[in-house]
Structure 1
Amino acid sequence: MTRIERIDVRLVDLAPAAVRVDAMQSFVKQETVLVDLQTSDGLSGTGYSYTIGTGGRAVVSLITEHLAPALLGQDARPVEALWRHMIDQTRATTTGVITSLAFAAVDTALWDLRGRRTGESLWQMAGGAHPRLPVYDTEGGWLHLPVEDVVDGAKRSAAAGMGGAKIKVGKPSPAEDAERLAAVREAVGPGFEVMVDANQAFTAAEAIRRARTYEPLDIAWFEEPLPADDLRGHQRLAASTCVPVAVGESLYSVQRFGDYLAAGAVGIIQPDVARVGGITPWLKVAHAAEAFNIAVSPHFLMELHVSLAAAVPNGIYVEHIPQLRAVTRSSLVIEDGCATPPDVPGIGIDWDPDTLDDHRVA
């Protein structure tokens, strides 16, 4: 038996590579929680999760004070059993954002450890459905940018061979959003996908209104149009428009994804490993979506999600938002607009210990 002998937790702050503003907030910093597991047979694994500016220390506290003591001495191999064991230790706070983020950092480390033990990459362990997937870009479409810059960003993405670009929406006037999107569509032509993201800014009525202005522009999807708790509103919107509704980055449990799928309230799901509680539940969500013939395009964390999105049959895109370059020695491999999952044991992220120490805050 290979037992967990040591668990180290670090909090690392990373500044965004570019100014990022959407309809609801600014991306101030990425609080990155890293968990290092060491086992009795001399192996180790590293996992992580993140916040965009608040709550990082609470995640660290939950891991160090509650999860780590419950995991020390446990056999590191049965990942599913350990994920359930973490639920049993946190019944009073499950399901919740902080708990999911804590689970994710630990669960990702367990999967990394599993791959290092077997010699398999995460892509192989999780299914290996596609050798690579198309990439779409988000970095050029932030809401604070003038329309000229948004157009230039989309043109750069197209010139780089990417399959699409995401444009943030949520300007005070629907006409202003439509003008920005029309300018992008005119610049990139019909063969390039244009996605829109409202970051939960609208009511159902307003989302239905704005979706009608998107339809003539052949928008690939309308992401987070409403607050994530508004299941009925998403259901109404999905029934009213031909633009696929994309949801998932702000859903924190497998069961909540099930609610959306069963209600016909989503056309594309966007699970985030950190927010749904780890790789273990992420795969459950992806396969549940497959049962409903729904595509998966995960949110953020491109260095990790490239392996998972390519592993499942219904994975369609990887979102390009660079964020780990400052603290890693590896990078996402993109050729001809497609990302290739790393073919190395574990999750495939080569962390730089020196730069991690430079950015460490707790």
Structure 2
Amino acid sequence: MTAPVTIESIRLRQVNLPPKVVRTDAIQSFVTQETLLLTLRCSDGVEGTGYAYTIGTGGSSVMALLHDHLAPRLLGRNPLHVEAIWKDLFFHTHATAVGAITSLALACVDTALWDWRARRQDLPLWQLLGGAQSRVPVYTTEGGWLHLGADELVAQTLAAQAQGFRGAKIKVGRPHVSEDVARLSAVREAVGPGFDIMVDANQGFNRPEALRRAAAFAGLDLAWLEEPMAAEDVSGHRQLRGQTAIPVAVGESMYHLSQFREYLERGACSIVQPDVARIGGITPWIKVAHLAEGFGVPVCPHFLMELHVSLCAAVPNAAWVEYIPQLDDITTSRIRVEGGYAWPPETPGLGIAWDWPVIEKRQLVDTTLNQ
């Protein structure tokens, strides 16, 4: 009888990546992308690498949680037991869950396990997980930031339209509603009716202001209004959804399947946007997608396009991939975008080709735990 495969070592690395452009929204600026990498090596000689990120704070805390508490529990485990490992690690960190630090750490582990599993079976991740669609419509968030004026927004969005993107995201949350309306109206007039405009408030409004802004945006044919209020305000989102025809999108600031379930059960959203890093990995992300499918709700994930393109291709209700390059500095692979669609990679595993020599030069943390 063949001995089961076991996890023999865990390597943890951190690389900080500055954003290519100034990124501002209604509540914050994107300062530094702390990229957290976990590579597990198994007794079959196959490795799997997973990752997560922050936008400038908390990376060292995630690395400490992995090094001190989670990685030691992986050593000697069978990497095929993805569900068992996720549940064990989640309950081991029960006192710090549900929350971002724990979810990001879980995501590093879980995405590495799925990378190993797909590589072991010589399959692209999206095919291993179901292969529901071979391409997914793509919109861009490379521009549209809150500090930009109408002229800059128009120029950026017209450029995106000329490049073949099917939509673009514009940040909202200027001090007065009239400023947001003027910026969005200029973009809509420039791109015409056949181009989708997504707007994102980044939780910047209270209930009365969210209702006011949604009413003011009513004639602009928006694809969705994203995170209009604090993610914890489920009833506020339900109230808003009942009073506007604009689809209400939520999810990037949720960290567990149960939070999505509450929104869906209460009819408080039109679109869900799970972030594979912030929800704790591929295992819970797929569950959210299928849960949303049961409610007839599309999935349009947040950020992490290099991984989300595969997850979107895996499920039937993924409607959009968000284009915002995140890993160009430390990878040699690039997401394929043609004719307004993003195409999942055909290489085994996550489909991300890490540039290890560059990572070794730039890494701030590099530590290995062995069995």
TM-score range, shorter chain: over 0.9
**Is structure 2 residue 336 aligned with structure 1 residue 333?**
yes
From 265, 269, 286, give the equivalent of 1:266. 269
CA contact (8 A) 1:112 1:346 kept: yes
Whole-angstrom distance in 2 between the partners of 1:114 and 1:151: 44
**Is structure 2 residue 113 aligned with structure 1 residue 110?**
yes
Aligned position for 1:150:
153
**Is structure 2 residue 199 aligned with structure 1 residue 206?**
no
| Offset from partner CA, 1:301-326 (integer Å, 9 cap, x none) | 00000000111110010001112100
Q: Which contiguous aligned blocks of 4+ residues in structure 1 show a shift greater than 3 angstroms?
A: none
Whole-angstrom distance in 2 between the partners of 1:327 and 1:78: 29
From 215, 219, 223, give the equivalent of 1:216. 219
Whole-angstrom distance in 2 between the partners of 1:304 and 1:131: 15
Q: CA deviation at 1:215?
A: 1.3
Residue 42 of structure 1: SS of its match in structure 2? coil
From 246, 249, 252, give the equivalent of 2:252. 249
Contiguous gaps of at least 5 residues in structure 1: none
Residue 232 of structure 1: SS of its match in structure 2? helix
Residue 277 of structure 2: SS of its match in structure 1? helix
Residue 189 of structure 2: SS of its match in structure 1? helix
Aligned position for 2:83:
80
Whole-angstrom distance in 2 between the partners of 1:164 and 1:290: 23
| Offset from partner CA, 1:126-173 (integer Å, 9 cap, x none) | 111111011101112000111111011110111111110000000011
| Offset from partner CA, 1:158-202 (integer Å, 9 cap, x none) | 111111000000001101100000000000000000010000000
CA contact (8 A) 1:17 1:323 kept: no
Whole-angstrom distance in 1 between the partners of 2:142 and 2:118: 31
Whole-angstrom distance in 2 between the partners of 1:295 and 1:235: 17
**Is structure 2 residue 319 aligned with structure 1 residue 310?**
no
Residue 39 of structure 2: SS of its match in structure 1? strand
Letter matched to residue 262 of structure 1: E
Letter matched to residue 148 of structure 1: D
TM-score normalised to structure 2 length: 0.97
From 6, 9, 26, give the equivalent of 1:6. 9
**Is structure 2 residue 207 aligned with structure 1 residue 238?**
no
RMSD, aligned α-carbons: 0.7
| Offset from partner CA, 1:84-125 (integer Å, 9 cap, x none) | 111121111121110000000110000000001011111101
From 232, 249, 253, give the equivalent of 1:229. 232
Residue 295 of structure 1: SS of its match in structure 2? coil
Residue 278 of structure 2: SS of its match in structure 1? helix
CA contact (8 A) 1:12 1:360 kept: yes
Residue 98 of structure 1: SS of its match in structure 2? helix
From 288, 293, 298, give the equivalent of 2:291. 288
Whole-angstrom distance in 2 between the partners of 1:140 and 1:160: 13
| Offset from partner CA, 1:241-277 (integer Å, 9 cap, x none) | 0000000000000000000000101000000000000
Letter matched to residue 157 of structure 1: A
**Is structure 2 residue 170 aligned with structure 1 residue 175?**
no
Aligned position for 1:355:
358
Letter matched to residue 231 of structure 1: V
Whole-angstrom distance in 2 between the partners of 1:105 and 1:217: 39
Q: CA deviation at 1:358?
A: 2.4
Whole-angstrom distance in 1 between the partners of 2:269 and 2:316: 18
Aligned position for 2:61:
58
Whole-angstrom distance in 2 between the partners of 1:316 and 1:359: 35
Letter matched to residue 99 of structure 2: G
How many residues get paired?
362
Whole-angstrom distance in 2 between the partners of 1:301 and 1:287: 19
Whole-angstrom distance in 2 between the partners of 1:336 and 1:6: 42
From 323, 345, 356, give the equivalent of 2:348. 345
Letter matched to residue 213 of structure 1: A
**Is structure 2 residue 125 aligned with structure 1 residue 133?**
no
Contiguous gaps of at least 5 residues in structure 2: 366-371
Residue 53 of structure 2: SS of its match in structure 1? strand
Residue 275 of structure 1: SS of its match in structure 2? coil
Whole-angstrom distance in 1 between the partners of 2:268 and 2:361: 44
- Percent of residue pairs bearing the same amino acid type: 56
| Offset from partner CA, 1:57-100 (integer Å, 9 cap, x none) | 00000011000111100001111111111112111112111000
CA contact (8 A) 1:197 1:222 kept: yes
Letter matched to residue 304 of structure 1: L
Whole-angstrom distance in 1 between the partners of 2:362 and 2:166: 33
